[in-house]
Chains A and B, each alone.
Chain A
Amino acid sequence: MDRNRTHRNRRRVLAWMHFFGLFIVMAIICIPGLWIVLNSFRPTVEIMAKPPVWVPSFTLDHYRAMFGGAGEGGVPVFHYFRNSLVVSVTSTVIAILIGMSGGYAFARYKFRFKGGIFVGLMLFRAVPGVALSLPLFIVFARVGIIDTHFGLILVYVAMNVPFTVWLTDGFFRQIPGELHEAAEIDGCTRWQAFWKVEFPVARSGVASAAIFAFLTSWNEFALASQLTRSTGSKTMPVGLLDFTAEFTINWGGMCALAVLMILPALILTFIVQKHLIAGLTFGGVKG
Chain B
Amino acid sequence: MTEVSLRNVIKRYGTQQAVHGIDLEIENGEFVVLVGPSGCGKSTTLRMIAGLEAISDGEVSIGGRVVNDLPPRERNISMVFQNYALYPHMTVRENLGFSLTIAKRPEDEIVRAVDEAAGILGLDELMDRKPAALSGGQRQRVAMGRAIVRHPDVFLFDEPLSNLDAKLRSQMRVEIKKLHQKVDSTIIYVTHDQVEAMTLADRIVLMRDGRIEQVGTPLQLFEQPVNIFVAGFIGSPPMNQLAGTVEGDAISLGEVYVPIPSSVRGQLSNGQKVIFGFRADNLTPVGHGLREKGETTQLDLRVHLTEPLGTETLLFATLAGAEIQGKMLNPRPVAPGEDLTFNLMLDRCHVFDAATGNAIGRT
Contacts and interface: CB of A to CB of B under 8 A. Distances in A.
Interface string A1-44: 10111011001000000000000000000000000000000000
A81 to B, nearest CB: 47
A7 B66 contact: no
B336 to A, nearest CB: 41
Nearest to A5: B69
Interface residues of A, number: 7
Contacts of A7: 69-71
Interface string B58-90: 000000001111110010000000000000000
Contacts of B68: 4
Interface in B291-305: none
Chain B, interface SS category: loop
A5 B67 CA distance: 10
A17 B73 CA distance: 23
A120 B70 CA distance: 54
A285 to B, nearest CB: 13
Contacts of A1: 66
Contacts, number: 15
Nearest to A7: B69
A139 B308 CA distance: 86
Interface in A49-94: none
Nearest to A9: B69
Interface residues of B, number: 7
Nearest to B74: A3
A4 B67 CA distance: 7
Nearest to A8: B69
Interface string B26-55: 000000000000000000000000000000
A117 to B, nearest CB: 29
Most buried by B among A3, A5, A11: A3
A1 to B, nearest CB: 6
A8 B71 CA distance: 10
B175 to A, nearest CB: 35
A7 B55 CA distance: 14
Contacts of B74: 3
A53 B270 CA distance: 91
A60 B234 CA distance: 76
Nearest to B51: A7
A226 to B, nearest CB: 47
Contacts of B69: 3-5, 7-8, 11
Interface string B344-355: 000000000000
B59 to A, nearest CB: 10
A4 B66 CA distance: 8
A1 B66 CA distance: 7
Contacts of A5: 69
A10 to B, nearest CB: 9
Contacts of B70: 3-4, 7
A31 B270 CA distance: 80
Contacts of A11: 69
Nearest to A1: B66
A145 B317 CA distance: 89
Nearest to B69: A4
Most buried by A among B68, B69, B74: B69
A11 to B, nearest CB: 8
A7 B75 CA distance: 13
Nearest to A11: B69
Interface string A176-200: 0000000000000000000000000
Contacts of B67: 4
A3 B69 CA distance: 8
A4 B69 CA distance: 5
Contacts of B66: 1, 4
A11 B70 CA distance: 11
Interface string A138-157: 00000000000000000000
A108 to B, nearest CB: 25
A191 B301 CA distance: 64
B52 to A, nearest CB: 14
Contacts of A4: 66-70
A270 B70 CA distance: 42
Nearest to B68: A4
A5 B66 CA distance: 11
A53 B277 CA distance: 85
A193 to B, nearest CB: 32
A3 B68 CA distance: 10
A4 B68 CA distance: 7
A207 B191 CA distance: 43
15 contacts: A1-B66, A3-B69, A3-B70, A3-B74, A4-B66, A4-B67, A4-B68, A4-B69, A4-B70, A5-B69, A7-B69, A7-B70, A7-B71, A8-B69, A11-B69
Given A4-B70, A7-B69, 12 more contacts: A1-B66, A3-B69, A3-B70, A3-B74, A4-B66, A4-B67, A4-B68, A4-B69, A7-B70, A7-B71, A8-B69, A11-B69
Interface of B: 66-71, 74
Closest 9 CB pairs of A and B: A4-B69, A7-B69, A8-B69, A4-B68, A7-B70, A3-B70, A4-B70, A1-B66, A4-B66
